[in-house]
Structure 1
Amino acid sequence: MSAVVHMAPRREGAPSWLAPFLMLLPAMLLILGVVLVPLAMTALLSFHSFSSSSGISTDMSLANWAEIVADPYYMEMFLRTFRISGVVTLACCLIGAPEAYIIHRMQAPWKGIFLVITLGPLLISVVARTLGWALLFGGRNGVVNKALMDLGILSEPIPFMFTEGGVMVALTHVMMPFMVLSVWAVLQRLDPRSENAAASLGASQFTILSRIVLPQVLPGILSGAIIVFALSASSFATPAIVGGRRLKVAATLAYDEFLNTLNWPLGAAVAVLLLIAIAAIVIGCNALVEKRYSRMFQ
């Protein structure tokens, strides 16, 4: 007696290689509509001309880009932006990476408590945190400055508002949790037995940190540095509050061109140039560090 096996008919559908693209299609459409299309429209707007009498014209030219490149005022804004961002990134690396390692080595419940304290500022508005620094060091009426002068420790208040140093301090405080988070994520994969093995073989704490811990957490430091630099260079609220109109950066410059002078094409050119510069610096630094990082372990 022979058994007859009935095979279900094969349904014709989309090829298997097309399935991932179909799954990604909603996200791709969202990115296209929310990110890429506005960027393309902003870049296109930067090639239009503007006059105070007739507004934005339909003719296309490179006048806005030529003005930014030729005018030292705009170049100073960009140099100040990247100078502040570089110092903030360096400060976050020097403070945030050791802080993340120290918290990682803590025992419960102190590890969780200090991690919440470190990441807690992310739950507070950037404007509120920046205004807090302004209240602490804002001229003679700042809490810290007034207290130090009343005690006779200072004769003049610490200059904070409308200075590059003040913007750097405030931005470092705002960006520090991003560096701690990036290094913390890498430290979770760090095997503590490797440190214990090195210590049992007579390695000093400095050797353990420099030869075992640092190479393994370097990708986290690099990721955190990229995030901090990009966010610092494009930051608006903190430089606008602490720096004010006396100390402009690229983001506040674009804001003024859009809403104060109503020169949208020039503001668009500043914004696009800032985006291109940030992308070029981040990609270049990433490639350089990865190249040296790969050579270190060859």
Structure 2
Amino acid sequence: MSLVASERNAPYWLAAPGLLVFLGLVIIPLGMTALLSFYDWGQYKGIVPTFTLKNWVEIATDSYFFEVFLRTFRIAILVTVATILIGVPEAYILNRMSPGWRSICMLVVIGPLLVSVVARTLGWALLLGSTGLVNQGLIALGLIGAPLEFMFTETGVVIALAHVLMPFMILAVWASLQQLDPQIENAAMSLGAGWWTIWRRVILPQIVPGILSGSIIVFALAASAFASPAIIGGRRLKVAATLAYDEFLNTLNWPLGAAVAMLLLVALVAIIVGSNRLIERRYAQVFE
């Protein structure tokens, strides 16, 4: 009996180290941050460990916080749409390449992830500036007469975030394409289907799970991004992550910063879980 019991408990013992690390590095800090969000704060008295809803009421009633969170999720949605429009065709092309070229292109795709986020974002700042390569190139081609405003705008932030998050979408869609039988396209073509029909009715429905999983990853990372909005957006273009940073390190209002961070986390979890439930329900209705 002891041998049987030890075999039953073996998975729990094997998972225990990982659970302890997760508990110590994720759950406990999140719990402390949530508790901190209910503390009071004053400019002269500092943090006061008394329970209060003042921080949450301030966020709920001040239109400034609503504007910041609206901008945060608007940027995240635009980044997600941009990665879908560019990443899905790119993943399809990547899947059709020969192994040699695919390896080279895969290195190019994941290249942004191999560069420091600060160095990469500063590079985009140099490219998107009024005297940067993008504006100067467009002026040289005669497409514009004056430099476009990319810096300190949502457009610049979306471009920078879409660049760094594109690999997550491409890899997710490419993983779905790996499960497809290449002969399905040939069979559809032999039945008289055109390229657009094959893509819309044969390929796209089967890679939707990859698109959805990539969208969730991209949306969550874009909504919680800090470096790119801080450098490209500047101090005028606040998002939730930079707002929490300012509250922690500039105004030293840690309870309010903790409330902003927890609200962002709760909103992301609610959006991701809600979208998953909606998608699973629609898929269940389709396959019933």
Normalising by the smaller structure, the TM-score range is over 0.9
| Structure 2, gaps ≥5 residues long | none
CA separation of 1:12 and 1:110: change in aligned 2, threshold 3 A = closer
| Structure 2 counterpart of 1:292 | 282
Identity %: 60
Supply the distance in 1 between the matched residues of 2:243 and 2:168 (Cα, whole angstroms): 25
| Structure 2 counterpart of 1:127 | 118
| Structure 2 counterpart of 1:62 | 53
**What are the Cα deviations for residues 219-263 of structure 1, in whole angstroms up to 9, with x where unaligned?**
111110000000000000000000000100000000000000000
Matches within 5 A, 1:46-125: 46-125=37-116
| Structure 2 counterpart of 1:254 | 244
Deviation at residue 152 of structure 1 after TM alignment? 5.2
Matches within 5 A, 1:113-262: 113-139=104-130, 141-149=131-139, 153-262=143-252
Supply the distance in 1 between the matched residues of 2:145 and 2:189 (Cα, whole angstroms): 50
Supply the distance in 2 between the matched residues of 1:201 and 1:297 (Cα, whole angstroms): 24
CA separation of 1:51 and 1:290: change in aligned 2, threshold 3 A = same
Deviation at residue 296 of structure 1 after TM alignment? 2.9
Supply the distance in 2 between the matched residues of 1:152 and 1:209 (Cα, whole angstroms): 36
**Which one of the candidate residues 236, 252, 268 is aligned to 2:258?**
268
What RMSD over aligned residues (CA atoms) do the two structures have, in Å? 1.6
CA separation of 1:152 and 1:182: change in aligned 2, threshold 3 A = closer
CA separation of 1:294 and 1:209: change in aligned 2, threshold 3 A = farther
| Structure 1 counterpart of 2:7 | 16
What is the one-letter code of the residue matched to 2:159?
A: V
**What are the Cα deviations for residues 113-172 of structure 1, in whole angstroms up to 9, with x where unaligned?**
222211222111222222111111212x21232344466543221110110111111111
| Structure 1, gaps ≥5 residues long | 1-9
**What are the Cα deviations for residues 52-73 of structure 1, in whole angstroms up to 9, with x where unaligned?**
1010002111110000000000
| Structure 1 counterpart of 2:22 | 31
Supply the distance in 2 between the matched residues of 1:151 and 1:189 (Cα, whole angstroms): 43
Per the normalisation by structure 1, the TM-score is: 0.92
Supply the distance in 1 between the matched residues of 2:207 and 2:143 (Cα, whole angstroms): 41
**What are the Cα deviations for residues 186-243 of structure 1, in whole angstroms up to 9, with x where unaligned?**
1111111222211112222222212221121111111100000000000000000000
CA separation of 1:201 and 1:153: change in aligned 2, threshold 3 A = closer
Supply the distance in 2 between the matched residues of 1:199 and 1:116 (Cα, whole angstroms): 32
The alignment covers a number of residue pairs equal to: 288
Larger radius of gyration: 1
Deviation at residue 11 of structure 1 after TM alignment? 5.9
Moved more, 40-49 or 284-293: 284-293
Question: 3-state DSSP class of the match of 1:109?
Answer: helix
